[in-house]
Amino acid sequence: MPRTLALLALALSACAGPRATGWSPALVGKPAALSARDLSGREVTIGPGDGTVRVIDFWATWCEPCRDLLPLLDRFARDYGDQGLSVYGVSFDEDRAQVDEFLRDVPIGFTVLWDKGGARLAERLDIQRLPTTLLVDRKGIVREVHLGYRPEEAGALEAEVRKLLAER
């Protein structure tokens, strides 16, 4: 029952447009550490301090801003991967088949993980809306949390990624 209520709350507040103002995400300044299964069923752990900059995006196929953001993140993975950027997408969809169908239509080259309905991660990481995008520095510390997405934010998001990549 708590999982159903958490999923309902997430769905009602998710995809509500641009980033919230005045909210200081609890994850900023903390180590990024999470695990979920990839689409092959293998457990993937994203731990702190592996020396790469990471973008971790929580999304769902039914979330239009999420669908808009994924191609941009795919470009980041291609353009900046050789500079030490790793991109992960964590789907909170209930139905794995919807994820597979979406990715057939919108292929992306970065690692996609699946956390059915956000069961393992939504509450633990306080993910209250989708998309939620974490920017993690080379030491594994969450430096930025973006809530929501609008296409006009693409340049600012890319600048933040490039700034983290420039840090050594």
pLDDT digits (tens, 9 = 90+) for 28-59: 989 999 999 999 999 999 988 789 999 999 99
| Alpha carbons within 13 A on the beta-carbon side of 92 | 32
Indicate the pTM of the whole model: 0.88
Domain, as residue range, for 12:
2-16+23-166
Burial class of residue 133, CB neighbours in 10 A (0-12, 13-18, 19+): buried
The separation between CA 118 and the C-alpha centre of its own chain, rounded to angstroms, equals: 12
> Quick check: 1 pLDDT over 90?
no
Contact residues for 126 (Cβ-Cβ < 8 A; gap 6+)? 25, 26, 27
Taken as a whole, the chain contains a residue count of 168
CATH number, domain of 78, equals 3.40.30.10
Instruction: Read off the pLDDT of residues 58-79 as tens digits, 9 standing for 90 and up.
Output: 999 999 999 999 999 999 999 9
Contact residues for 64 (Cβ-Cβ < 8 A; gap 6+)? 15
> Quick check: 129 pLDDT over 50?
yes
Look at the chain and report how many structural domains it folds into.
1
**What angle, rounded to 10 degrees, do the helices at 64-80 and 154-166 form?**
40
